[in-house]
Amino acid sequence: MAKLILRPGKEKSLLRRHPWIFEGSVDHLEGRARPGDTVDIVAGAGRYAGEVLAKGAWSPSSQIRARVWSFDPAESIDDAFFKRRVAAAVARRAALPELRGQDGLRLIHAESDGLPGVIADQYGDTVVVQLTSAGADKWREAIAGALQKATGCARLYDRSDSEVRAREGLEPVTGWLRGEAPEGDILIAENGVRMKVDIVGGHKTGFYLDQRDNRLALRDIAAGRRVLNCFCYTGGFSLQALAGGASQVISVDSSEPALTTARANLALNPQLESARAEWRCANVFEELRRLREAGEGFDLVVLDPPKFAPSASHVERAARAYKDINLGGFKLLKPGGLLATYSCSGGIGVELFQSIVAGAACDAGRDARIVRRLQGAADHPVALAFPEGEYLKGLLVQVD
């Protein structure tokens, strides 16, 4: 097995059990390793000089040169390893009462479940896996087998087409790993609302499971309110707002296919009053300005945009985009109105996001206060040693 030798002092984060080894921390590679191969990670100098501190997956094309599989140097990285890790991740979800009975569930949340680069979401009897690192890609079959064994799923689909794979030197990969496509649509029921999930062409693995709790929280405050849902995708927040008794829900997205699915999702729920829903295909930035010019007002505005900052180099531009949409949201709120605003950009931290929203409120001339902090659902845990896993953050803000 090849050895990745760290530069002096670069073992500190590893000793705190952070799973990433960056390019600048690597002194040299001793031996030969192909992308995805397991390497021993060795301290190069100081107190731990020559000591194997962890085992990780080598990725020569990425700025993150290695991702840790195990902090136990004696642990073998083999099929049995993935069976144990996958089974443990599934068992953790099963132990949480709030996740029991969910049709849509994240089973594996990458680094936070000790499986860097591995995402697995379950929709009924179908599991969708997304492999974003060289190490995860190398162990595709072992991971697929472990998932089928741990869940008993009828079928497993590979959605490894994320753009982040290019940074690992990987090509997009999609297709059925186990089983075949079902005859009909894949449907889930989320807190009493039925939704269609497009695992082949939809965003991420087909649905945004991380917002489950936040959609439910929105339903609880929607009664009697006029709601504007921006970047609505397939209508998750919109349908929950209708279920909560919203007087009207206007939903905006730039994707007509997403809106087509949203309308179909509404039709799946005859208990919801379709006359209260309006779907608009438009650029959200432009629609926010148009609504202001038209003198429109709302009791509740939802801003759930896509990832504006995929990496640290995009933070400045992303901050401007987040401020722009939040400024528009504040200007549309009636007195006493609520803004539910989110960022899923890992490069935008919690403090920075709050600062951006505060700046937007100031520019809009609105006094506002945070009434609730919002985050990902319980099946999207954040490892204490890996704060980067907290990508989704949100604020529920009330204006005077």
- Catalytic site positions: 344
Q: Among all chains, which residue has been given the structure tokens 């300005």?
A: 289
Cα–Cα–Cα angle for 283, 286, 287, nearest 5°?
80
Helix (H, G, I), strand (E, B) or coil at 319: helix
Q: Which residues pair with 118 in a beta bridge?
A: 131
CB 128 within 8 A of CB 108: no
Closest CA to 339 of 352, 355, 353, 327: 327
Strands 298-303 and 226-230: parallel
Q: What are the strands, taking DSSP E only, across the chain?
A: 3-6, 20-22, 26-30, 38-42, 52-58, 64-70, 104-109, 118-123, 126-131, 155-160, 173-178, 186-190, 193-197, 226-230, 248-253, 277-281, 298-303, 333-343, 368-375, 393-399
CB 39 within 8 A of CB 28: no
- Burial class of residue 347 in the structure, from the number of CB atoms within 10 Å of its CB (0-12 exposed, 13-18 middle, 19+ buried): buried
16: its two tokens: 């705190």
Q: Which residues pair with 302 in a beta bridge?
A: 229, 340
- Burial class of residue 377 in the structure, from the number of CB atoms within 10 Å of its CB (0-12 exposed, 13-18 middle, 19+ buried): buried
CB 126 within 8 A of CB 182: yes
